[in-house]
């Protein structure tokens, strides 16, 4: 892997890639150069044969404090519009087929909260600080916050957060279903994320990618279409070797040796 100015990329366990946002002076504010590096790093992990699951994290103090306010401040409408400012952020959701676990400690504000919500599983610490404070800057969320937060926790809670700019804790985030789990410490969070990533990496890559794809369809399709889509993908997996391997191993009470084919 190459080296980056604003990221650390590692493989903490075989099959698990980790991207750590590393711009401590600005609490990991998501500048355009940082996002460009993030897309590069995730693209490489996605195409690497040895990686099956990805962890995206920040520091103990900040997952990310949002878009870079100093970079954004002078933008004009025509610049933002013609250059599709922020659009490249969602490459994460279109380019990466492997599951991404967000491990959130500290601030996940504005674009930081939005980036975490783009991931497939969100874990946080109990003291994590989620919010969409754009209203305080005279603007609104621009990386999917009004849509993803509302789907995750419902309209009334999302309205309260987005209209008041008030933050919510990791405890609330987990209770409301924004996070899958809140951990009592930073160390427990990172250990929990790694364990889950290792579990995912122990399965057939083909099945894992199909499962992620099917769940994501639920966010875009009406129920009947989503169920049909799932059934098609389920049927197609009878064409994989790993389905035969997995079911044969079950019958023989053995551990499956995946071919990832
Ligand atoms: N952009 C640029 N710089 C930022 C930043 C951001 N979003 N967040 C923090 N920083 C910088 C600060 O300017 C400061 O730099 P200097 O030392 O050069 O002054 C440094 O990071 C440390 O920050 P603080 O001194 O403010 O740290 P703190 O611990 O006192 O406060 C905080 C932490 C509450 C997170 C505070 O930094 C803060 O409110 N940040 C902005 C949060 C925000 O409004 N985010 C939304 C951005 S808009 C957006 O994201 C749009 C979108 O939807 C895409």
How confident is the model over 26-72, as pLDDT tens digits?
999 999 999 999 999 999 999 999 999 999 999 999 999 999 999 99
pLDDT of residue 158: 98
Q: Summarize the confidence of residues 194-216 as an average pLDDT.
A: 97
Cα of 67 from ligand 1 centre, angstroms: 9
Domain of 227, CATH number, reads: 1.10.12.10
Considering the domain architecture, whether residues 62 and 133 belong to the same structural domain is answered as yes
Q: What is the pLDDT of residues 69-115, one digit of tens each?
A: 999 999 999 999 999 999 999 999 999 999 999 999 999 999 999 99
Cα of 58 from ligand 1 centre, angstroms: 14
Q: What is the pLDDT of residues 139-153, one digit of tens each?
A: 999 999 999 999 999
CA torsion through residues 58, 91, 112, 84, sign:
positive
Considering the domain architecture, whether residues 144 and 79 belong to the same structural domain is answered as yes
Considering the domain architecture, whether residues 95 and 179 belong to the same structural domain is answered as yes
CB atoms within 10 A of CB 242: 20
User: Is the beta carbon of 67 within 6 A of some atom in ligand 1?
Assistant: yes
CA 203 to chain centroid? 20
CB atoms within 10 A of CB 189: 24
Which domain does 222 fall in, by range?
205-251
Considering the domain architecture, whether residues 49 and 167 belong to the same structural domain is answered as yes
Which residue has 């049927």 as its token pair? 235
Residue nearest to atom 8 of ligand 1 (CA): 65
Reply yes or no on whether 67 is catalytic. yes
Which residue has 């995912």 as its token pair? 200
Residue 1's pLDDT band, with cuts at 50, 70 and 90, is low
pLDDT of residue 220: 92
Considering the domain architecture, whether residues 115 and 52 belong to the same structural domain is answered as yes
Spatial separation of the C-alpha atoms in residues 28 and 252, rounded to whole Å: 50
pLDDT of residue 185: 98
User: Is the beta carbon of 124 within 6 A of some atom in ligand 1?
Assistant: no
Classify residue 259: in a domain, yes or no.
Answer: no
Task: Give the 3-state secondary structure of the chain.
Answer: CCCCCCEEEEEEECCEEEEEECCHHHCCCECHHHHHHHHHHHHHHHHCCCCCEEEEECCCCEEECCECHHHHCCCCHHHHHHCCCCHHHHHHHHHCCCCEEEEECCEEECHHHHHHHHCCEEEEECCCEEECHHHHHCCCCCCCHHHHHHHHHCHHHHHHHHHHCCCEEHHHHHHHCCCCEEECCHHHHHHHHHHHHHHHHCCCHHHHHHHHHHHHHCCCCCHHHHHHHHHHHHHHHHHCHHHHHHHHHHHCCCCCCCCCC
Residue nearest to atom 41 of ligand 1 (CA): 65
Residue 52, C-beta contacts closer than 8 angstroms, at least 6 positions apart: 15, 16, 98, 200, 201, 203, 205, 208
Q: Summarize the confidence of residues 190-208 as an average pLDDT.
A: 98
Considering the domain architecture, whether residues 102 and 228 belong to the same structural domain is answered as no
Residue 2's pLDDT band, with cuts at 50, 70 and 90, is confident
Q: What is the mean pLDDT of the chain?
A: 97
User: Is the beta carbon of 69 within 6 A of some atom in ligand 1?
Assistant: yes
Select from 71, 107, 101 the least CA-distant residue to 86.
71
Q: Which pair of tokens denotes residue 239?
A: 């064409």
Q: Is the ipTM of this complex over 0.90?
A: yes
Considering the domain architecture, whether residues 180 and 235 belong to the same structural domain is answered as no
Classify residue 1: in a domain, yes or no.
Answer: no
Cα of 187 from ligand 1 centre, angstroms: 24
Considering the domain architecture, whether residues 163 and 223 belong to the same structural domain is answered as no
Domain count, the chain: 2
Of 69, 111, 129, the one to substitute when testing ligand 1's pocket (max ligand atoms within 8 A of C-beta) is 69
């Amino acid at each position: 892997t190459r080296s980056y100015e604003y990221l650390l990329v590692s493989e903490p366990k075989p099959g698990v890639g980790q991207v750590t946002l590393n711009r401590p002076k600005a609490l990991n504010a998501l500048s355009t150069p940082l996002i460009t590096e993030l897309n590069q790093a995730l693209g490489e992990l996605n195409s690497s044969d040895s990686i099956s699951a990805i962890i995206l994290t920040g520091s103990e103090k900040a997952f990310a404090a949002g878009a870079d306010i100093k970079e954004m401040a002078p933008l004009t409408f025509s610049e933002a519009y013609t250059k599709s400012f922020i659009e490249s952020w969602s490459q994460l959701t279109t380019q990466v087929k492997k599951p991404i676990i967000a491990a959130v400690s500290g601030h996940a504000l504005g674009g930081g909260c939005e980036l975490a919500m783009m991931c497939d599983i969100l874990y946080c610490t109990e003291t994590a600080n989620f919010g969409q404070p754009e209203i305080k800057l005279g603007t609104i969320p621009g990386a999917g916050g009004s849509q993803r937060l509302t789907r995750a926790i419902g309209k009334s809670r999302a309205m309260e957060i987005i209209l008041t700019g008030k933050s919510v804790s990791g405890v609330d985030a987990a209770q409301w279903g924004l996070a899958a789990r809140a951990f009592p410490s930073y160390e427990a969070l990172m250990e929990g994320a790694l364990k889950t990533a290792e579990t995912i990496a122990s399965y057939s890559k083909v099945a894992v990618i199909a499962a992620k794809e099917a769940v994501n369809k639920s966010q875009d399709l009406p129920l009947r279409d989503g169920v049909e889509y799932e059934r098609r993908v389920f049927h197609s997996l009878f064409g994989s070797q790993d389905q035969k391997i997995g079911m044969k191993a079950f019958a023989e009470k053995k551990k499956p040796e995946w071919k990832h084919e």
